[in-house]
Structure 1
């Protein structure tokens, strides 16, 4: 039972470290770029622009955007929603908060499982009447 829980904790930790944290970093970077671009458009009162669009595999094409006051934002699962600038900025903030909450929830779950494992191990140690593990302090030699 103990090894099952340790395996489960390890899988959660790997999920948090390999998936959620990089996703959070990437999402925050993308949202920050989007936020910065929207704020620049607002600040400079840009209503149209010419840009380069990545078609994939680093192949770019020039594009004219006749009206920048409404933008399409990737909301996940391949869906894009048309937003005004203020709506997009609000969505970005909400999305960042959600991702941060997910990281915190998984971190708390990991801590809870680790404490349960420690409790079970301590109970087994007491049942088997084994001496408590001593932590090494100071120099070993």
Structure 2
């Protein structure tokens, strides 16, 4: 194999290892963060719906202070809730206002998940394309798909 072909292969491998794979890891981590936010808002929506269903006006609960240390808390009036809207800001909402905000936020998070998923698919396709280029430079035969994956 000549030197220029070896250099091309090395550049392609470096591009995959140093650029595409870290990008893929970051995109997956970003999508995981969005999934966590979705779960938080989903849990909040369920809790507010339970409060409405049970007509609970007061509440006794445990609050996580950090490091799995809990403290008992009394909430004398549950008709209003404080929702973290980001950047350390909390807004006081009625139950219906909070549910409206949560549904809007869940729609936005669903779009973010879709964007992240598309980015992940794009990066994976780029990795596969570069690997196919390396395979061609090495003049290796194409991989055969198992019978279950073939398109007829």
2:143 corresponding residue in structure 1: 135
Is contact 1:16-1:103 (8 Å) kept?
no
Q: Which sections of structure 1, spanning at least 5 residues, go unmatched?
A: none
Partners of 1:69 and 1:85 within 8 A in 2:
yes
Pick the structure with more helix per residue: 2
Paired residues in the alignment total 134
1:31 aligns with 2:41: yes
Displacement after TM superposition at 1:110 (Å)? 4.0
C-alpha deviation, 1:47, in angstroms: 1.4
> Post-superposition shift, 1:83?
1.3
TM-score by length of 1: 0.71
Query: RCO greater where, 1 or 2, for CA within 8 Å and sep 6 or more?
Result: 2
The root-mean-square deviation of aligned C-alpha atoms, in Å, is 3.1
The CA distance in 2 between the partners of 1:113 and 1:134, in whole Å, is: 21
In the alignment, structure 1 residue 94 sits paired with structure 2 residue 104: yes
Match of 1:83, SS state, is: strand
Q: How does 1:12-51 map to 2 (within 5 A)?
A: 12-17=23-28, 19-51=29-61
TM-score (norm 2): 0.67
Kept after mapping to 2: 8 A contact 1:12/1:106: no
Gaps in structure 2 of 5+ consecutive residues: 1-10, 147-152
2:62 is paired with a residue whose SS is: strand
Q: 1:35 to 1:137 in 2, by over 3 A?
A: closer
Structure 2 residue aligned with 1:65 = 75
What CA distance in whole angstroms lies between the structure 1 residues aligned with 2:72 and 2:126?
A: 57
